[in-house]
Structure 1
Amino acid sequence: MKHNMPLALSMIQMIFAATSATAFLQIPAQNPATNLRTSTIPAPYTKGLLRSYSNDNDNDNDNNDRQIQSDLISLSLPTLATLSIDPLLSFTDTYFASYADSLQAFSVDNLASVATAAPAVNFVLFLFNGVLGTSVVPSVVSRERGSLLSSSSSSSSDLPPSNSAQLTLRISFQSGLIIALAALPILYLLPNPQITLLPQLLPILTVRALTLPFTFSLTTSLSILRGYLDTKTPFKVLAGLGVLNLTLSYALTHYFSSSISGGLAVISATCLCEILGSYLIYRNLLSASILPPSFPFSPAPKTDGVINSVVKRGTSSSFVRSFLLQSFILSIAYVTSHSSGDPAAISSHQVACLIWFLSSFAVDAIGSAAQTMVAEEIGREGDPKFTADKALQLGVKAGLMLSLLTGGFCYGLGGVEALTHGNAAVMEGVASVLPVVVLCQPLNGAVFVADGVLQGANEFDFEAKAMAVSVLLATAFIALAESQGWQGTTLQHVWEGLALLQVSRGAITLARIKGIGFVQSCFI
């Protein structure tokens, strides 16, 4: 099917172009200079977000630096542990799912079925996470909390139930329910590169779809706790669920392999754990008085204009941004799987993605901490410059460290061989893109932390526009590489395009934070 690649990529590019044009036309321009204290609609807060060293006292700078760094690390470490649970489970799920016959024989087809299903599943999950779960919820909850603390003499433990938490949780469950009801007929229309994988693929996606309301509720509940600066509770709950997930995955793949596939077994275990986790976190929110005792049966609270504005505008802009990013990720998986019809190609892509996402979650923890701290500082009507500055420094340093650790794991400790079970074709594919994965870690550190800073500063509109430009550049590169027959495999072209996406995102978002006039004039 290689001869159909230029046409397929051209169609994908046209879809991205149309979506990007819609984003530019529908997202209103914002004025960075709008005063946050007098405007009922929160404005972006990134004009001069990085501090000016020459205007501050040196001793105060040093003390402030140490305090902010301490706060960032204290929030980042539990968040890192929490965020790392998911990709670590993906590693083990891939390991279990790629086996057949009671864990006795490696199956490329089993691994390929998971690799084919994963982009479709992640498209829905990450689209929601980007729209509401990890982008809007921590910002709006932290902003509301900071405003309540600054307007009253109450301590953080005496605050009333959160209106924003109730609003976002209702939206989460309803969104998951709507998608679940609409998913089943859509699943049977999904294109599949290998008809032999269809019997394994559809049950995986079906089980995943039916549990989306609980998955979305769990994600939002965890983000609410992050907005309240509670990172320990999510870690404890998710760590316990992780152990349970591994136990169930092993039991199902070992004792029931004759009746269900490895991929269906691990997805079923994950979904059961997410249902349990959503209930446990819900009970925690009730006990902490973040939700009223009668929730969700109590009447919907009346939220003020600021909360409504952040949720509505942030959700719409984040939807465009997440749709573009997740469409790109789904498309490159589709292109990779169709390039040769060989299960080894998409399997190699899946293993490389696992390594990429595990390291990405590590730096994303710093971005999450920065997002919460910046949003709360704005809610207090304070100055978030020091937080943004220190978070970006930590992000780049963490990226450099991850580059060394990733290289050591893959090249020195034989991590790739373990993940691919020594399959020569899959190992060769992973090795061809591994340099991109390793070298992009410092860049990822800057990009993901910058995203957190911008989200905390309510820059959702700008992020959507920046993502549109970056996705178009990366898609155009892959289309040219494939249509012109550039040197390298389709898998290599896809990962080079992914690197270009990160370069573009980093350049645009960092320029925005620094307040470069040319970049602002292009997007505003």
Structure 2
Amino acid sequence: MTHPLDREIVRLAFPAFLALVAEPVFLLSDAAIVGHLGTPELAGLGIAAVVLQTVVGLCVFLAYGTTSSVARHLGAGDLRGALAQGVDGLWLAVLIGAVATVLGLLLTDPLVGAFGAGAEVTEHAATYLRIAVLGITPLLVMLAATGVLRGLQDTRTPLVVAVAGTVLNVLLNLLLVYGVPVDVMAFDGLGIAGSALGSVLAQLASAAALATVVVRGARREGSPLSPDRAGITAAARAAVALVIRTLTLRGALLVTTYAVVLAARSGPDGLGGDDSVSVATHQLAFTIWTFQAFALDAIAIAAQALTGRQLGAGDVDATRAVTKRMILWGIWGGVVLGVLTLVTAPFVGALFTGDQSVRDLLVPVLVVVAIGQPLSGLVFVLDGVLIGAGDGTYLAKAGLVMFAVYAPVVLAVAALVGGLVWVWIVFTVVLMGSRAILLVRRERGDAWLVTGIRSVA
């Protein structure tokens, strides 16, 4: 690390990466504990988790938008205003969470029933979801508070809370799912309902810890703690663009999954026409790609915080310098991940499956993943830079263009050519490539370099 910015990038990115990894560990621990109850319970958890992750995933703007606005105030030397923006974000999270919780309780049965699973699985899913929706508000408060702390250039506190929350979740799940067999304090487990309750309690504790840090800071600086209608309205209005951006990305991933199924039927990579081989291989490849995305997203989080701070300070030259350095970090991070993927491609499949057909198909798919990682690094970082700049409107428009280009191409290739490898080639070249072109084009211009304190647009 020879560049003056490198130490600061590592200080922000490394804890952010570990905190991001804590999230799938949280989910995996739930799956492992519930899985020992039985297959129907595990399937029910899977259905309920999809619903919850969709709701929370669409609200990621609570972290991204808050990071940008808080960092701008910090860069302008207005710590009081930064914390006031953070408190507005917390109130917005509470309002959205309250609405989502009520809707979740009212729509639990229709939501889980829409998956068309068997009666036993649907019953377990409904049981879990009916309790787990009570954790939506704490989850959204966690997102908003994490965004505040990132904007304040603090990624260590969210890491500590994420790790503590994950440990607490495991302990509560074990206790509430299986109970305590000791006579003195005997307690019968609650089964899958206990898992949902344990997760809600862990989420509530984590949200309280993060919110307490923000509130203490606000009190120290004299920032108001009461709801500010204008601030909350402005934050909600700014969130629309980031929601559209998120929807286009999730839509593209859903289309990719559909294309995999379509490609398997059209030309299943010469594996005897077994659709399940292609679908299973895609799931493994996407899991690996997603884990690597956490590392690149951590760099993007650092880019959000640093970009917002420099623009808030009115320093365009420093913003350009930060962006240039972050791009190098993203590309070289992608190169490192790509090399690791190439080296491990022939062996990593054995960690997940004993099916030799899946292992064989996974190798060429991971080669495509490896080649595309430097491009992914560029995309993730520039996405973070523009989010940090509050350029949400452009990101929303770029997302719509990307989806309009990618969806017909990947579906056409899947139907006419077939084969999982070709789907991943299109994913890398067209989806990530179109995003890169749109983001680089924006970064080279000056329209996003709006300095001073402003609301995220």
Give the TM-score normalised by structure 1.
Answer: 0.70
Task: Indicate the residue corresponding to 1:31 in structure 2.
Answer: none
Cα 1:516–1:424 change in 2 (3 A) is farther
Q: Does 1:488 align with 2:419?
A: yes
Q: 1:127 aligns with which of 48, 58, 82?
A: 58
**Total equivalences in the alignment:** 425
For residue 216 of structure 1, what is the aligned residue in structure 2? 140
| Root-mean-square deviation (Å) | 3.8
| Equivalent residue in structure 1 for 2:246, among 310, 322, 325 | 322
Give 2:115's aligned residue. 192
Determine the C-alpha separation between the residues in 2 that align with 1:254 and 1:407: 42
Which residue number in structure 1 is paired with residue 170 of structure 2?
A: 246
- Match of 2:305, SS? helix
2:308 is matched with 375
The answer as to whether partners of 1:119 and 1:330 remain within 8 angstroms in 2 is no
Partner of 2:292: 359
Are 2:63 and 2:145, in contact at CA under 8 Å, matched by a contact in 1?
Answer: no
**Counterpart in 2 of 1:166?**
87
Q: Could you list the runs of 5+ residues in structure 1 that have no partner in the other structure?
A: 1-61, 102-106, 150-155, 518-524
CA distance in 2, matches of 1:163, 1:322: 26
Contact 1:82–1:235 at 8 Å: present in 2 too? Answer: yes
Q: Are residues 1:81 and 2:18 paired?
A: yes
Partner SS, residue 387 of structure 1: helix
Structure 2: unaligned runs, 5 residues or longer: 181-187, 266-273, 448-457
Tell me, in whole angstroms, the C-alpha distance in 1 between the residues paired with 2:126 and 2:276: 17
What is the Cα deviation at residue 92 of structure 1? 4.6
> Compared with structure 1, are the counterparts of its residues 308 and 113 closer, same or farther at alpha carbon in structure 2 (3 Å cutoff)?
closer
Match of 1:236 among 155, 160, 164: 160
- The 8 Å contact of residues 96 and 137 in structure 2, kept in 1 or not, is answered as yes
Give the letter for the 1:84 counterpart: V
Q: Distance in 2 between matches of 1:512 and 1:286?
A: 36
Which has more helix, going by share of residues?
2
Instruction: Give the structure 2 partner of residue 392 of structure 1.
Output: 327
Task: Choose which of 439, 442, 447 in structure 2 pairs with 1:512.
Answer: 442
Aligned equivalents of 2:345, 2:34: Cα separation in 1: 21
How far apart, in 2, do the equivalents of 1:488 and 1:458 lie?
39
Distance 1:444 1:280, change over 3 A: same
Of 79, 96, 102, which residue of structure 2 is paired with 1:181? 102
Distance 1:174 1:472 in 2: 33
Give SS of 1:148's match: coil
Q: For residues 466-485 of structure 1, what are the structure 2 equivalents within 5 Å?
A: 466-484=398-416
Q: Are 1:71 and 2:71 an aligned pair?
A: no
Secondary structure of the residue that 1:188 maps to in structure 2?
Answer: helix
The alpha-carbon distance between structure 1 residues 248 and 295, as it changes in their structure 2 partners (threshold 3 A), is: farther
Change (3 A) 1:143 1:437: same
Higher relative contact order (CA 8 A, sep 6+): 1
Q: Provide the C-alpha distance between the structure 1 equivalents of 2:323 and 2:19, rounded to a whole number of angstroms.
A: 22
Letter in 2 for 1:181: V
CA distance in 1, matches of 2:352, 2:279: 14
Asked if the contact 2:73–2:81 (Cα under 8 Å) also holds between the matched residues in 1, the reply is no
CA distance in 1, matches of 2:445, 2:48: 41
| 1:275 alignment partner in structure 2 | 204
Separation in 2, partners of 1:273, 1:221: 16
CA drift at 1:277: 0.2
For residue 269 of structure 1, report the CA deviation from its aligned partner.
4.1
How much does 1:409 deviate? 5.3
Does residue 454 of structure 1 match 2:386? yes
What's the offset of the Cα at 1:314? 2.9
Aligned partner of 1:508: which letter? Answer: L
Q: Distance in 1 between matches of 2:189 and 2:357?
A: 27
State the distance in 1 between where 2:393 and 2:357 align.
Answer: 43
Q: Which amino acid is the alignment partner of residue 329 of structure 1?
A: L
**Whole-Å Cα distance in 2 between the matches of residues 437 and 176 of structure 1?**
36
* Residue identity in the other structure for 1:74: R
Whether the 8 Å CA contact 1:162–1:290 is kept in 2: the answer is no
Distance (whole Å) between structure 1 residues aligned to residue 357 and residue 196 of structure 2: 26
Equivalent pair of 2:341/2:366 in contact (CA under 8 Å): no
Say if 1:88 and 1:124 are closer, same or farther in 2 by CA, change over 3 A. same
Deviation at 1:226, TM superposition (A): 0.7
In structure 1, how many angstroms separate the alpha carbons of the residues matched to 2:321 and 2:379? Answer: 18
Shift in Å, 1:252: 6.0
Residue 218 of structure 2 aligns to a residue in which SS? coil
**What are the within-5 Å matches in structure 2 for residues 409-424 of structure 1?**
411-412=346-347, 414=348, 416-420=349-353, 422=354
**Contact 2:100/2:136, CA 8 A, preserved across alignment:** yes
Q: 1-side partners of 2:297 and 2:309: how far apart?
A: 18
- In 2, Cα distance between the equivalents of 1:268 and 1:427? 38
Distance 1:247 1:258, change over 3 A: closer
Percent identity of paired positions between Structure 1 and Structure 2: 23
Shift of 1:204: 4.0
Q: Is the 8 A contact 1:112 1:346 kept in 2?
A: no
Moved more, 334-343 or 193-202: 334-343
- Residue 397 of structure 1 aligns with an amino acid whose one-letter code is W
Please give the alpha-carbon distance, in whole angstroms, between the structure 1 residues aligned to 2:255 and 2:203.
27
* 8 Å CA contact retained: 1:321, 1:467: yes
**Counterpart amino acid of residue 371 in structure 1:** Q
Work out whether residues 296 and 334 of structure 2, in 8 Å CA contact, stay in contact via their aligned partners in 1. Answer: yes
Change in CA separation of 1:276 and 1:493 when aligned onto 2, cut-off 3 Å? farther
Deviations 1:370-413 (A, max 9, x none): 1111111111111210000000100111111122334555644x
Aligned to 1:145: 74
Question: Residues 497 and 207 (structure 1 numbering): CA distance in 2 closer, same or farther, change over 3 Å?
Answer: farther
Cα deviation, 1:30-69, whole Å, max 9, x if unaligned, reads xxxxxxxxxxxxxxxxxxxxxxxxxxxxxxxx9xx82222
